[in-house]
Amino acid sequence: MSAEWQVQSAESWKITLPCSRAQAEALIEDVPALAAFDPPPTVMTSEPDPAAPDAWLIDVYVEGVPTPELIEAIGSLAPDRGPPEIVRIEDEDWVTRSQAFLVPIRAGRFHVFTGAHAGESPAGTIPFLIEAGRAFGTGHHETTTGCLEMLDQLATAGHRFANIADIGTGTGLLAFAARALWPEAPILAADIDPIAIDVTRANMAENAIPADAIALFTCPGVDHPEIARTGPFDLLIANILAGPLIELAPSFADRIGPGGRVMLAGLLADQEDAVVAAFAARGFRLSERLQRGDWPTLVLVQRP
């Protein structure tokens, strides 16, 4: 490692690493290899050329000259794709620069954007400002987009809900969308990660959502005494991963009343049968489904 990387600096840098689509998708949740670094780097993935669907990029934005340890950790995210490219970002806010590449998302009636695109929401849409940061759920991944579209479809079909939970809330976006569609319903949002709850609280303020409009809890799944007292729910949203969805099926079923619905995402298409089977064993049947890319969004209803 050359001596220039040892110089202490407040500069900003971008580290770019080629990767496969599978390696990029593995980063939709936390990135354990980078969790110990302070301040935490911002990680983004992209598909530069749709004609080359397995040629993705990982871009990592860091404050200060990246250390050899950080460079090695980033390289471990895609160790088979060659060394990372490291460049200094000259005289500009690297967070703003990274946000500029996140184009606004339109999903049903929802328009999700970062601060770089403020004021650009089309007329008639429900806008949400969600910055990329320390929690999952900016709307740019197919799982989140699929959930937004499914919520819109349920509302368009005339479904009404009186008690809603968003489990694994991330940025809080899905809870915000549910509140916009069913404003009279009590809504709670929970996440196992306290950082996600902090991010959700900040995003509520950013989107002029009153602090008491959504109850926030830090807990695994629905394992919180206040959640037990709040139920049963007639809509429970869970955009997490297939394994946890299967494990949580019994506790979710205990919190959903007869005729209630559970919206599941974060699973791949080849994991769908196992997830549906876990909920079918608890009295649910599949009622609605949509798929974006390899990622289905499922709605299952509890049989009366």
CATH number 2.40.50 given to 3-96 = no
Residues belonging to the binding site for S-adenosyl-L-methionine are 144, 168, 191, 239
Please give the CATH number for the structural domain made up of 139-302: 3.40.50.150
CA angle 162, 168, 173 (to 5 degrees): 70
**How far from the centroid of its chain's Cα atoms is residue 280's Cα?**
26
Token pair listed for 291: 């798929």
Token pair listed for 27: 């980063």
pLDDT digits (tens, 9 = 90+) for 39-57: 778 888 877 776 777 888 8
Residue 133's pLDDT is 57
Token pair listed for 160: 């009404």
Which has the higher per-residue pLDDT, 11 or 257?
A: 257
Q: How far is Cα 233 from Cα 238, in angstroms, rounded to an integer?
A: 13
- The sign of the dihedral angle between the CA atoms of 273, 279, 282, 285 is negative
pLDDT digits (tens, 9 = 90+) for 143-172: 899 999 999 999 999 999 999 999 999 889
Q: How far is Cα 133 from Cα 98, in angstroms, rounded to an integer?
A: 10
Residue whose C-alpha is closest to residue 68's, from 148, 156, 126, 2: 2
Band of the pLDDT at 30, cuts 50, 70, 90? low
For 45, left (φ over 0), alpha (ψ -120 to 50), or beta? beta
Domain ranges across the chain: 3-96, 139-302
Q: How far is Cα 98 from Cα 14, in angstroms, rounded to an integer?
A: 10
Say what the pTM is: 0.69
Enumerate the H helices of 158-224 as residue ranges. 173-181, 194-206
Q: What is the CA radius of gyration of the chain?
A: 20
Q: How far is Cα 121 from Cα 58, in angstroms, rounded to an integer?
A: 28
